[in-house]
Structures are given as C-alpha cells and as structure tokens.
C-alpha cells in the first residue's frame, strides 16, 4: 500500500504534468451584443489590444459616462469598444490623434456618437478640450479617458499631468502598454514581438502614484485617491479609478 504522503502528492504531480502537456490558453470572448456589434471582426482579429477590449468597454460603462476621451486612435480598434460603452450609457466619444484618423472604418450606427480631433493630445487638454465641452454643453471633464499613444515616459508624464485633472469624480484613466518588452505574451499564451520602451508608461504611473510596481504581475492597489488594477498580458493594461 502506498504511503499516505505519496498519495497526497499525486494531485500536484498531475498538475505539473498537465502544465507541461497543456499550456494555459485563455481567450477573450464577447458575450455583450452591443460590444460584439461595435467590434465586428476586431472581436477575434489578432491585435495587441484585443485582450483588453472587454475591460475598456466595462470600465467605461462602470464610469457612467457622458463624455469618453480616447487619446491615440490609429485604426480605431479601441474606439469601437469605447463606442459600445457610449451606446450603452448614452454618451459621446471624443478621439484625439496626431494623425488624421477621421476616416477610420467604424460601424455606421455608432458614428453619431463619435467626434475626432487631430491634435497633440497634451496641447489639446487645455483650451481645445474646454471649448469642445462648452460646444456640447458639458462640463470640461470626462468620465473615462483611454491613453494609448507614444508610450514614451516623458510624453506619458505630460499626458497624466494634462488629463488627470480632466477626469470626473468616480471616473477611470485607462492605460494600454504598461508592461512592454521585446516580446509580450497574449492571454492565449502566444508570444509576439513587442518593443522594450524602458518601462515608459508604467514608470510615469509609478511617479504619479508614488509607488513601485512589478508590471509583470497581476496586481490591485490603492494610491493617491485611485483604486488601481493591472493585468500583465498583451503588453499590460492598467486602470486607475478615481475614488470619490
């Protein structure tokens, strides 16, 4: 008869074997019909932001937005997730990019909820943003602000300084690319080439929050009046929710 000790070790041995034979593979899925409609083919297409689209949608809905700001639009993938949240919350999305992204392909039904401004995002945070809000009869505040631009340290610092004061109470600052490296892992376990940017975004966040983080881990935290949560996969995504 095997010793009780060796019996108790069986589950961990099986676990080790499974880990070797069947690597962890999770996938992002899109059960919400509005989000699925807004994303269209992007719900399953390979992109560095795909694993975060559900988070962008949900955190924005949870912000009870009237105005949602997107800094960094490019092909409009994150725009689609934000537009889905705007549709659910009856809000508006303002996208800002250095490049002219006004012609990006977006589902027609969501287009009336979208405005695009071609500008440097830091410069636009001042009078440009205030004027835009006045024109729509809104206070110069956004309930959700997604930052996905250069990912450079100095620029991210400037973005936080310019846009954190524009965040409404209870709102969320959302950051992509908070765990950048020469290679990144997707949620499904695949490795893709990335870019080592010397911790540009997370370093700027550390400075803002007065904390050090290990961005290769999943973590939650509280600092400087924000609830913080971070996931490390797909170049990292970090949410700062402003506590009342």
Which of 73/234 has CB closer to ligand SAM?
Answer: 73
Which of 63/149 has CB closer to ligand SAM?
Answer: 149
Minimum gap (Å) between residue 184 Cβ and ligand SAM:
13
Window 44 to 73, contacts with ligand SAM (CB under 6 A): 49, 71-73
Token pair 């659910």 is found at: 88
Of 28, 32, 44, 120, which one interacts with ligand SAM (CB under 6 A)?
A: 120
Residue 150 contacts ligand SAM per CB under 6 A:
yes
Residue 115 contacts ligand SAM per CB under 6 A:
no
What SS3 string covers 210-244?
CCCCCCCCCEEEEECCEEEEEECCCCCEEEEEECC
175 neighbors 237 (Cβ within 8 angstroms): yes
Of 14, 18, 45, 98, which one interacts with ligand SAM (CB under 6 A)?
A: 98
Stretch that binds ligand SAM, among 16-24, 30-38, 142-150, 224-232 (CB under 6 A): 142-150
Count of residues interacting with ligand SAM (CB under 6 A): 18
Which of 154/214 has CB closer to ligand SAM?
Answer: 154
Minimum gap (Å) between residue 45 Cβ and ligand SAM:
11
106 neighbors 81 (Cβ within 8 angstroms): no
Residue 99 contacts ligand SAM per CB under 6 A:
yes
CA neighbor of 75 nearest in space, from 39, 123, 119: 39
Question: How far is 120 from 98, CA to CA, in rounded Å?
Answer: 5
Question: How far is 138 from 155, CA to CA, in rounded Å?
Answer: 27
Of 35, 148, 157, 184, which one interacts with ligand SAM (CB under 6 A)?
A: 148
DSSP assignment of 141-191 equals -EEEEEE-S---HHHHHHHHHHHGGGEEEEEEEEEE-SS--SEEE-TTS-E
Chain residues binding ligand SAM by CB under 6 A are: 49, 71-78, 96-99, 120-121, 148-150
């Amino acid at each position: 008869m095997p010793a009780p000790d060796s019996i108790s070790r069986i589950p961990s041995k099986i676990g080790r074997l499974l880990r070797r034979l069947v690597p962890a593979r999770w996938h992002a899925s899109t059960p919400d019909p509005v989000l699925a409609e807004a994303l269209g083919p992007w719900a399953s297409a390979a992109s560095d932001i795909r694993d975060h689209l559900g988070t962008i949608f949900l955190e924005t809905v949870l912000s009870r937005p009237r105005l949602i700001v997107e800094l960094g639009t490019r092909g409009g993938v994150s725009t689609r997730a934000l537009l889905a949240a705007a549709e659910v919350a009856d809000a508006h999305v303002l996208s800002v990019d250095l490049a002219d992204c006004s012609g990006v392909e977006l589902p027609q039904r969501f287009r009336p909820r979208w405005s695009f401004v071609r500008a440097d995002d830091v410069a636009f945070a001042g009078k440009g943003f205030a004027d835009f809000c006045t024109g729509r009869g809104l206070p110069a505040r956004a309930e959700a602000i997604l930052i996905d631009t250069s990912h450079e340290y100095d620029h991210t610092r400037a973005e936080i300084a310019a846009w954190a004061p524009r965040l409404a109470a209870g709102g969320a600052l959302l950051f992509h690319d908070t765990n950048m490296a020469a290679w990144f892992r997707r949620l499904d376990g695949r490795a893709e080439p990335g870019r080592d940017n010397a911790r540009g975004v997370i370093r700027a966040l550390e400075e803002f929050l007065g904390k050090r983080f290990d961005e290769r881990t999943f973590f939650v935290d509280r600092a400087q009046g924000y609830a913080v949560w971070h996931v490390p996969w797909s170049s990292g995504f970090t949410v700062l929710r402003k506590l009342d």
